[in-house]
Amino acid sequence: MRNLKVMTAYRGTNYHGFQRQENAMTVQEVLESKLSKVLNEPVSVTGCSRTDTGVHANMFCFNVKTSSKISCLGFCRGVNGELPEDISILSCEDAPPNFHARYDCKGKEYIYKMHCSESKNPFAADLMLHYRRKFDIEAARKAAVYLVGTHDFSSFCADCTNVSTTVRTIYSFKIENRGDSVIMLVKGNGFLYNMIRIIAGTIIDVSEKRIAPDDIPAILAAKDRLRAGRTAMAHGLYLNRVFYSEEELMRDI
pLDDT of residue 233: 97
pLDDT of residue 251: 87
pLDDT of residue 214: 97
End-to-end CA distance of the chain: 38
pLDDT of residue 39: 97
How large is the angle between the packed helices 27-39 and 72-82, nearest 10 degrees? 120
| pTM as predicted | 0.94
pLDDT at 249 over 90: no
Considering 52, 86, 126, 180, which one is annotated as catalytic? 52
**Which residue ranges form the domains of the chain, and what is each CATH number?**
2-95 (3.30.70.580), 107-250 (3.30.70.660)
Nearest to 147 by CA among 202, 100, 101: 202
The tens digit of pLDDT for each residue in 190-225 reads 999 999 999 999 999 999 999 999 999 999 999 999
pLDDT of residue 33: 97
**Residue 52: active-site member:** yes
Rounded CA-CA distance 194/51 in Å is 9
Q: Which of 119-128, 154-163, 171-180 has the lowest mean pLDDT?
A: 154-163
The tens digit of pLDDT for each residue in 29-52 reads 999 999 999 999 999 999 999 899
What's the count of helices (H) and strands (E) in the chain, helices before strands?
6, 10
Mean pLDDT in residue range 225-253: 94
The residue among 246 and 128 whose pLDDT is bigger is 128
pLDDT at 88 over 80: yes
- Beta bridge partners of residue 182, listed in sequence order: 114, 177
High-pLDDT (> 90) share of the chain, %: 92
Contact 155, 219 (CB under 8 A): yes
Backbone angles phi, psi at 152, to 5 degrees: -85, 115
pLDDT of residue 154: 96
- Amino acid identity of residue 110, one-letter, is Y
pLDDT of residue 78: 98
